[in-house]
Structure 1
Amino acid sequence: MGGMPSAEPFTPLHFQLVLLRRMADHNPGLVENARRELGVSAGEMREANKRWQAMARSPRARGAARRYRSVLGPPESTAARRVGDLDCEALLWPVPLWPGLRFEVLLAPDGGVWNEWLIRAPGAPAPRLRTLEDLTPWSCTVEEAARAFAPARPLQGTAPTRWGLAFTAPDAQGVRHDVAAEFTWGLLQRTGAGPAAGPGSP
């Protein structure tokens, strides 16, 4: 890929590096493998993330939805989505690193971005999530974990692109555990002991 001067267009490849950079704190080995698969250096990944942050914070920054369109191109598909009392529009883009996933941007009725994360691609088979052992890094999305281990409740994320879920799940021997699962850009990063999940789900 070579150097990446700031004048170079920001492409879908660069955006994948932004996703990976946020995941590197939890899973450096997986990120390293993915980075090599893309044929880029660690420095290029850091530079892509730096440029993305600068784009988002610039006084002349485009709205988030326009920024995603300018970087990722036209969405692969759009769909109406009901979220609570809001009628949202979901924009989906493919992510070559994860062929079974799509990057989803939810637009509120006023055009603002309500949410942005990875989801399972429409029609793609969902993972089988039955025990703690199934919850491996990058194995599932927030929605899939919440559905498989309902009732689950949201936990405060440690950064804008991070989410948490608390739920109860059995291990391979059938012993149930209170679990806290951490997600980055909607994709599972790690699990640990957590508070008991209350009634209801996110």
Structure 2
Amino acid sequence: MSDPVPYAPAPPLASLGILGAGRVGKALAARAADAGVAVALAGSADDISPVVAADAVVLAIPLGRYRSLPAERLRGALVIDAMNYWWELDGARPDLDDPTTSTSQTVAAFLEGARVVKALNHLSAYALENLARRAGEPERIAVALAGDDQADTAHVAALIDAMGFDPIVAGPLAEGMRFEPGTELFGADADRDEARLMLDRFWDTQRGRVVARARAAG
């Protein structure tokens, strides 16, 4: 099965900044370092200077804190949104639970001028820590990504591949909705073909029908 948005192979990123030093942020840092990528890890925006100097910045903080991000310093940067909305942590947030848009589009609107790609959000910390595999190995699992710019998407896909997972492009940034919390792919350790089927089945799920009706009405 092929990805709906073709992308040319891109050179791997030489450096990666990660904002968020929790378990996921540390797991991403380890995978990137294993791939030969120079990593800068910061626990908060107070330490962001080495992070924003990297070729790309991963956001691995609670999504409810996205408005604390230094938008001006991220202007023009390639930003990988690995954040998720959890009402238990973030509280009831209509801005993050709007079915007419993906949460990454909300983040992109706040980070005006940043080049946002949704990725690395739907695997568990355990999977990031333990399930990376070399290309071609039968148990290699997939990571979905969504972005509006094909070159940026290609760079993030190359990073995912180097980190030990099969990249699978869901489409433009709006399609990040299909692997947010509450979807079939979220938390699944699926290979490339299984992940593609899960993405394709999204519109037949209850969440998919809610999204489709809301977007049609909007």
Structure ID, larger Rg = 1
Higher helix share: 2
Question: Which structure has greater strand proportion?
Answer: 1
Structures share fold, TM-score greater than 0.5:
no
